[in-house]
A and B are shown apart, each in its own frame.
Chain A
Amino acid sequence: MTDDELDPLIHVPARLRILATLAALHEGDTLSFTRLQEMIELTSGNLITHLRKLEDARYVKSDKTGSGIASRTSVALTTRGREALDAYARALRAVLDGI
C-alpha cells in the first residue's frame, strides 16, 4: 500500500485532529464549536474552513441553534465520517507495515 491510498481529505493535520477529536465522543453526542476550537487550537476561521470540507464530504454534520449572541453551533462525526476515519487508520497501519 502507498501513501496515495490514504484518504486525502483526512490526511491533513488539521482535519485529522478534528476527526480524531470528534471520534472520542460517544455515538449520538455533539460537541460545541467553541469547545472543539479550544481542544484543537485552531482559529475559528481555519476551523470553519476545514469543517466545511469535512461537511461537504458528509464526514461531519453541524447544527446551529439560536441566533445572534446566543447562537450555538454543534458539530458531530457522522457514521460515514467514523467509517472513513477507521478506514484511514487501517490504511495508515498497512502503509507503516510496508515501510
Chain B
Amino acid sequence: MNESHDSTETPANGEETLDPRDAATLLTQTKDKATRELEVNSMLLCLLGGSSIIIGFGILWMSVRNQHPYQGPTPGSIGLFYLLILGIDVVAIAAYRRSSRGVRGQRRKDRQIIGAVGATGLVGIFVVMGALEHAGVSHSVVYGIYPATVPLVFFGLIGAVGAASREDWTLFTAALIISLVAAGAAFGGPAGAWFITGLGSGVVLFGCAGVKLIQRRAR
C-alpha cells in the first residue's frame, strides 16, 4: 500500500490481544462512532426541516388567508420563505459534505443523480407556473394551489428515492406521506393549501424525527 502523506513504517502498536469484554465494548463503540460520523444526522435534519416548513408555509399562509379575491403571497413573505429554504439548504449540504468526506462509491453517485433530478424538477415547476400564468389561469391556481402543493409532491417523491437508496425506510415512508399530504392539500383551496401542506408536512417530519429517536435509543 502506498500513501503519499507519510509512508514511514513503524512497528504496529496495539498488537496485544484483547480481553473479550473489552473487545465487545471496542467493537460496539467503534461501530457507533463510525456510523455517527459517516451518516447524516437525519433526526436533526427532520426536526429542522419540519420547523422550517411549518414556519415558512405559515408565513405564506398568514399573508394570503384574508385575501378576497385571492392574489397570492406578498413579496415580503416570499422573501422570508426563500431565506428560510436557503438556510436549511446550507445546513443540509454542510451536513452531507461533512459526513461524506473521503467516501466514494455508489451512494455518492446516487446523491449526485438525485441532486441533478431535483434541480431540473425545480426549474420545470417554475416553468410550468409561468406557462399557467401565460395561459391566463387564475391567481388562485398559479399563486396558490399550484406552488403550495406541486413542489412538495415532487420533492416528497425525490426524498423517497434518496431515502430508499440509503435504505432509510423511516424517511422513505415520511417522504411518501408528505407527497400524499401535499397532493391532498390541493383540495383545500388556494389559502388552505398553504396551511394544510405546511402543517401536514411539518407534523410528518416531526413524527419521523420521533421515530428515529426511538430507533436510536433501541440500538
Q: Specify which of B9, B20, B38, B166 is in contact with A99 (CB 8 Å cutoff).
A: B20
Asked whether A78 is an interface residue with its Cβ less than 8 Å from the other chain, the reply is no
Q: Mark A46-73, 1 if CB is under 8 A from B, else 0.
A: 1011111101000000101000110101
Asked whether B97 is an interface residue with its Cβ less than 8 Å from the other chain, the reply is no
Within the complex, what minimum Cβ distance (angstroms) separates B71 from chain A? 48
CB of B101 within 8 A of CB of A35, answer yes
B8 CB contacts on chain A under 8 angstroms: 44-45
Q: Specify which of A25, A49, A53, A62 is in contact with B38 (CB 8 Å cutoff).
A: A25
What count of chain A residues pass the 8 Å CB interface test?
Answer: 53
Stretch at the interface among B104-112, B125-133, B182-190, B210-218: B104-112
CB of A30 within 8 A of CB of B5, answer no
A93 CB contacts on chain B under 8 angstroms: 24
A24 CB contacts on chain B under 8 angstroms: 31, 34-35, 38-39
Using known A-B contacts A11-B17, A45-B10, A95-B20, determine if residue A34 contacts B102 with beta carbons closer than 8 Å: yes
B39 CB contacts on chain A under 8 angstroms: 24
How many pairs, one residue from A and one from B, have CB atoms within 8 Å of each other in the complex? Answer: 139
Asked whether A83 is an interface residue with its Cβ less than 8 Å from the other chain, the reply is no
What count of chain B residues pass the 8 Å CB interface test?
Answer: 41
Q: Is the interface of B mostly helix, strand, loop or mixed?
A: loop
CB of A21 within 8 A of CB of B3, answer no
Asked whether A84 is an interface residue with its Cβ less than 8 Å from the other chain, the reply is no
CB of B103 within 8 A of CB of A12, answer no
Asked whether B12 is an interface residue with its Cβ less than 8 Å from the other chain, the reply is yes
CB of B12 within 8 A of CB of A46, answer yes
The 9 closest A-B pairs by CB, nearest first: A35-B102, A29-B105, A24-B34, A32-B102, A14-B14, A20-B30, A45-B10, A49-B12, A44-B6
Can you report 26 residue pairs joining A to B where beta carbons are below 8 Å apart?
A6-B20, A6-B23, A13-B16, A14-B14, A16-B30, A17-B30, A23-B34, A24-B39, A26-B166, A29-B105, A30-B105, A32-B102, A32-B103, A35-B101, A35-B103, A43-B6, A44-B5, A44-B7, A48-B3, A48-B7, A48-B9, A51-B1, A55-B1, A69-B4, A92-B24, A92-B27
Residues of B within 8 A of A (CB): 1-18, 20-21, 23-24, 26-27, 30-31, 33-35, 37-39, 101-108, 166
